[in-house]
Amino acid sequence: MERRSKPKGSEGLTLIELAIALVILGLLLGLGANLVSMLTKRAKIVESRETVDAAVEALISYTAGNKCLTENKTQANVRKTTDAWNQPLFIRVADELLPGQCSTSNGTICDRKSTSLTVIICNDVACTSNQTIYNVAFVVASKGPNYNLQIMNGTNEIRVYAPGLQVDSFSGTYEGVPDPNRPEEFDDIVKWVTLDELRTKLGCLMQIRIINNELPYGFENKTYSATVFAEGGVPFSGSGKYKWCRQGDLPSGLSANPPTSATDCLSLPEASWGQADNVTISGTPAIGTSGSYLLTFFVKDNNTNIAQKTLVLTINP
C-alpha cells in the first residue's frame, strides 16, 4: 500500500501531538500558578513580620517619651495597623504599664521590676510541655496567612503555640473584626518584649553606684555636714529610693541618717538596712577625735543589686 506524504509546506501537529502539547501546557500553567501562590504567600509573611517589627519599635519609641505604654495604635503612632492580609494587628500590654497604674505618681516603667503578664510557649496542644517567659511588657501579633488569631489571650498570660499544632485558642472578636473559631495549623506571627528588655532600651537599667569619690574633711569642735549619693538601679517605693548600710565607726559627735551600721553589711538582713535617697553625716566632731576614719558604704536597690564604696573621713585638730 502506497504511503501518502504531506504536501510540501503543509507540516503541522497531529491531533495526538496537539493533545500532548495542551496537556504539557496545562501542567506548566498549574505549576506556575502554584509557584506564584507560594511566592505571594511568602512575600506577605515577610511583609507582616516587618509590620509586626515596626509596631514593636513604635511602642518602644512611645515609651521612651512617656515612660508608660498604651494599646492605642494611633496614640502610639503605629503607622501600619493591619498585616499583609488586611487584618488588625493584635497588641497586648501588661496592665501595670498602662495609664492608671503607670504614672509619675505611681511609678513609671523605669521604677518597676516586674509585671504580671507572661508568655507561655506551648509545645503541645494541651500546653503540658511549655516554656514560660515572665515579666513581659507587651505582645504584638499578626493573624498570619489563615486570617485566624490562634494565640490564647488570658487574664495574665499569652499562649503561643509551636508551628504546625492544630489549635485555635482565641475566640470572639478583636477590634470589631469577628475571629473564626477553627482549629488549624498555628501560623500567627508573634513578637514580645520583656520589661527588662524595654527598660534597657530606655536606658533605665543603669547599674546602681555610689557617686562620691571622697568625703569633705572636718575639724574638731566645728559643725560638719556631708552627703553620700547613689544613682541607677531599681528604686524602692515609699520613702527613700535605696537601702543603706555602713561599715566603720564615725568619730564621736557625728551621726548618720539612716544610721544603720554593721560589722558585715552583706550578712545583715535587708529589713534591717536603712531606707533613704542618700546618707547624710552631720554633727560636731568632739575634741580629741582628729584622725582618718575608714567608712565603707553599701547601697541596695529593689532588684537586689548592691554597690559599695570605701571613703575616708578626715577630721583635723
Residue 304's pLDDT is what?
Answer: 82
- Model pTM score: 0.64
Q: Answer for the pair 226, 280: CB distance below 8 angstroms, yes or no.
A: yes
Cell of 221: 569642735
Residue 29's pLDDT is what?
Answer: 67
Residue 108's pLDDT is what?
Answer: 86
The CATH code of domain 209-316 reads 2.60.40.10
Residue 276's pLDDT is what?
Answer: 95
Q: How many CB atoms lie within 10 A of CB 94?
A: 25
Q: How many CA atoms lie within 13 A of 145 on its CB side?
A: 16
Residue 57's pLDDT is what?
Answer: 96
Q: Answer for the pair 165, 201: CB distance below 8 angstroms, yes or no.
A: no
Residue 1's pLDDT is what?
Answer: 47
Each residue's pLDDT tens digit, 261-277: 999 999 999 999 999 99
Segments of the chain scoring below 70 in pLDDT: 1-13, 17, 28-39, 205
Q: Residues near 254 by Cβ (< 8 Å), separated by ≥ 6?
A: 218, 224, 281, 282, 283, 284, 285
Residue 36's pLDDT is what?
Answer: 55
Residue 268's pLDDT is what?
Answer: 94
Q: Please state, in angstroms and as integers, the Cα–Cα distance from residue 95 to each residue in 84, 102, 155, 253, following that order.
A: 29, 8, 10, 50
Q: Where are the domains of the chain?
A: 75-203, 209-316
